[in-house]
């Protein structure tokens, strides 16, 4: 990929790299990549960055594809265009394998590129290693003496694996009279004292919620790609992508050649090869194996808490993993409750569930039964019934319905869930018609009156084989389900008849 066209800051970078001793440095790592065309300006985010650099550290943290680098590059370009004579924010692109010495070679070059004209070269540490304490003090004094603060952008800082690599920068932040401002972009596990900075009021944070495209920004992006769709389609696109920049850019490119853009948007999911590939290669591949396995197994449920995750994975550290995936990696969204329940991005959930469907049948059954057991023991009988049916535990589903039917027959709540579990085989219903009643209740909970009615009629067809004590109970259960279906249909006469 190319780089930003030459400007005065680029000349300063070239000069800085030429005058350094030690191993050769790549000028391309000291300037941002060329912005992807067409560029969609997002003034609200630029304002957040402008306000953020009034504090020592601005942290732009989000998973892959949320537009972190594009945002910082466009913001830097705007700064250059607004004041060509002023030094642009210094820039370092961190790469995999950067140890402390290599990283500092680039940090020194970046700081040298924005040095005041005529600055004493002795104020810069040696270029081929991390600075000694005395060199850091000299550099801190030089920065503190500057008239205007130096802004240093560190892109992809999550690639730093040696926490000591940034110890020198933290020293500079403390001892430069606030003349050094860091703007840091990365994914997870950033080697910064985030909590200390936050408590001290020295941190500005920009995360997925801020980076997510608004409806108006989505319209701007589509328009820039020559795509026009109705407002309802824009809302649907935002709902499916939750404003994720990478998915929106893929969508904008694809929509240019779609004969029916609205239909394409309505079917948008992780079956799109570009989206699936990006999620696998840029999001999942970089996760620690335990976190990747947790996400994969947790996809059997719409949302997950620590207890459920523990039941699904057998990992006693599930709570810590969930918190890390939400706080550090930004891959999960928490409802903020106690206990907290977490959900994935819809497209990632779609991909993970598709991968679950390719598991051996026994493995998938085991996950559903683990979920059913946990839900049943934790006051969630509706979810327990769904997973028992999905796992083919016909006896368990029947027992759950018979013993907890007042909680399972919906009278005024219809969840409107997604795809229903597969129906049990006819021989299972023939052996126990109450299983069909359990299926009817489950479909009524989902708001599917037609499917619930079919299961109810199927149950009635086999009821004659029940022994007398169970037949009386069966009649009461049928009446309860009929009443629920009458309410679902909004038929007051049927409600009165079922309640009689």
Domains delineated in the chain:
8-211 (3.40.50.300), 215-268 (no CATH), 368-500 (no CATH)
- Pair 439, 423: CB distance under 8 Å: yes
Residue 6 confidence (pLDDT): 46
What pLDDT digit, counting tens, does each position of 230-242 carry? 999 999 999 999 9
Residue 1 confidence (pLDDT): 40
Q: How many residues does the chain have?
A: 500
DSSP state of 281: I
CA distances, 185 to each of 192, 282, 415, 487 (Å): 11, 16, 40, 53
Residues 240, 165: Cα–Cα separation, whole Å: 39
Q: Which of 13-22, 116-125, 343-352 has the highest mean pLDDT?
A: 343-352
**Burial, 316: exposed, middle or buried (Cβ in 10 Å; 0-12, 13-18, 19+)?**
exposed
Residue 2 confidence (pLDDT): 44
- Pair 425, 461: CB distance under 8 Å: no
Residue 4 confidence (pLDDT): 46
What pLDDT digit, counting tens, does each position of 98-136 carry? 999 999 999 999 998 887 665 555 555 555 678 888 888
CA distances, 104 to each of 130, 169, 182, 191 (Å): 5, 10, 15, 15
What pLDDT digit, counting tens, does each position of 33-55 carry? 888 888 898 999 999 999 999 99
Torsion over CA: 413, 417, 419, 421 (sign): negative
Is the preceding peptide bond at 339 cis, omega within 30 degrees of 0?
yes
What pLDDT digit, counting tens, does each position of 65-88 carry? 999 999 999 999 998 888 888 778
361-377 and 306-313 helices, crossing angle to 10° = 140
pLDDT band (50, 70, 90) for residue 413: low
Give this prediction's pTM: 0.82
Torsion of the alpha carbons at 139, 144, 146 and 149, rounded to the nearest 10:
100
Mean pLDDT of 250-270: 93
pLDDT of residue 495 exceeding 70: no
Residues 232, 262: Cα–Cα separation, whole Å: 9
- What's the mean per-residue pLDDT of the chain? 86
Tokens standing for residue 27: 């000028």
Residues 116, 9: Cα–Cα separation, whole Å: 12
The 3-state DSSP class for residue 187 equals coil
Neighbours of 487 (CB within 10 A): 22
Residues 319, 465: Cα–Cα separation, whole Å: 48
The 3-state DSSP class for residue 98 equals coil
Q: Which residues of 334-350 are buried (b: 16+ CB within 10 A; e: fewer)?
A: beeeeebbbbbbbbbbb
């Amino acid at each position: 990929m190319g780089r930003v066209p030459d400007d005065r800051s680029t000349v300063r970078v070239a000069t800085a790299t030429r005058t350094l001793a030690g191993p050769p440095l790549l000028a391309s790592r000291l300037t941002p990549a060329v912005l992807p065309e067409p560029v969609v300006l997002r003034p609200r985010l630029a304002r957040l960055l402008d306000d953020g650099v009034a504090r020592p550290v601005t942290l732009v943290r989000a998973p892959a594809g949320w537009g972190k680098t594009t945002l910082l590059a466009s913001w830097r370009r705007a700064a250059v265009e607004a004041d060509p004579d002023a030094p642009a924010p210094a820039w370092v692109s961190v790469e995999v394998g950067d140890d402390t010495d290599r990283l500092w070679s680039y940090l020194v070059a970046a700081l040298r590129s924005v040095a005041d004209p005529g600055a004493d070269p002795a104020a810069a540490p040696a270029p081929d290693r991390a600075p000694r304490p005395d060199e850091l003090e000299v550099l801190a004094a030089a920065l503190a003496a500057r008239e205007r603060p130096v802004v240093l952008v560190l892109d992809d800082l999550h690639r730093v694996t040696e926490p000591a690599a940034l110890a020198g920068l933290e020293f500079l932040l403390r001892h430069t009279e606030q003349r050094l401002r860091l703007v840091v972009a990365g994914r997870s596990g950033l080697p910064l004292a985030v909590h200390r900075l936050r408590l001290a009021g020295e941190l500005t944070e920009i995360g997925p919620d801020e980076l997510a495209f608004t409806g108006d920004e989505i319209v701007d992006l589509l328009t820039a790609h020559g795509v026009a769709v109705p407002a309802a389609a824009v809302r649907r696109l935002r709902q499916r992508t939750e404003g994720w920049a990478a998915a929106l850019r893929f969508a904008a490119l694809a929509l240019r050649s779609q004969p029916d853009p609205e239909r394409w948007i309505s079917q948008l999911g992780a079956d799109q090869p570009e989206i699936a590939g990006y999620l696998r290669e840029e999001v999942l591949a970089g996760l620690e194996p335990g976190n990747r396995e947790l996400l994969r197994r947790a996809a059997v449920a719409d949302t997950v808490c620590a207890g459920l995750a523990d039941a699904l994975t057998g990992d006693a550290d599930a709570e810590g993993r969930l918190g890390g995936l939400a706080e550090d990696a930004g891959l999960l969204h928490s409802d903020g409750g106690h206990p907290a329940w977490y959900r994935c991005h819809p497209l990632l959930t779609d991909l993970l569930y598709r991968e679950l469907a390719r598991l051996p049948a026994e493995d998938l059954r085991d996950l559903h039964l683990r979920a059913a057991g946990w839900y049943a023991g934790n006051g969630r009988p509706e979810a327990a019934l769904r997973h028992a049916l999905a796992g083919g535990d016909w006896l368990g589903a029947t027992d759950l319905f018979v013993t907890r039917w007042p909680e399972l027959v919906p009278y005024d709540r219809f969840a409107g869930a997604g795809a229903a579990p597969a129906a049990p085989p006819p021989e299972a219903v023939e052996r126990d018609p109450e299983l069909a009643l359990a299926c009817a209740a489950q479909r009524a909970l989902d708001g599917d009156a037609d499917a619930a009615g079919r299961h109810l009629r199927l149950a009635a067809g086999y009821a004659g084989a029940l022994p007398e004590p169970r037949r009386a109970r069966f009649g009461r259960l049928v009446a309860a389900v009929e009443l629920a279906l009458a309410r679902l249909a909004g038929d007051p006469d049927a409600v009165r008849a079922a309640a009689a």
